[in-house]
Amino acid sequence: MFTKTSASAFIATAAAIAGALAADSAVASDHKVTVALHVSTQGLDLSQPADARTFYTRLENAAWIACTRGNRADLVPVDNPKRCYEDSLGSAVRTARQPLLTQIYLGTHTLQEAALQGIDTRVLASK
C-alpha cells in the first residue's frame, strides 16, 4: 500500500517542477516562486485500479492548475503550459513508482515519452 507521506513527497516534487518552470520565464532580477499543490491519497488504495485512476486524475488536475492557473500573485505565466504539465505529471508518475499509475500513464503516452520523463516501465514487470 502506498503511504500518505510518500504521496506528498512525489506530488511536491511534481509541483516544484511546475513552479520552477513558471519561475524560469520571469525576469532574472525577480525571485523564483514554486507553485506547489498537495494531492491527497487519503481514502485511496493505489493497488486498486479504480483508486489508482482517481488518484491519476487528481495528479492531472493538479499539474494543469500548477502550470496554468498557478500564476497568481503576479507570477509570469509559463511559456509552454503543455510542456510544464507533461513534465509535472511525468515527474509525479516517475517518483511514485506505482505499477497501476504507470499503466494509466502509458494509456495516453508512448514508452518513448515515458523514457524521456525517466519513468521506469520495469515496475510493470514486478506486478
What's the total number of domains in the chain? 1
pLDDT by residue (tens digit) across 21-48?
444 444 445 566 677 788 888 999 999 9
Per-residue H/E/C for the chain: CCCHHHHHHHHHHHHHHHHHHHHHCCCCCCCCCCCCCCCCCCCCCCCCHHHHHHHHHHHHHHHHHHHCCCCCCCCCCCCCHHHHHHHHHHHHHHHHCCHHHHHHHHCCCCHHHHHHCCCCHHHHCCC
Enter the C-alpha cell of residue 122: 520495469
Segment 46-91, tens digit of pLDDT: 999 999 999 999 999 999 998 887 656 666 777 889 999 999 999 9
Structural domain for 77, as ranges = 4-124
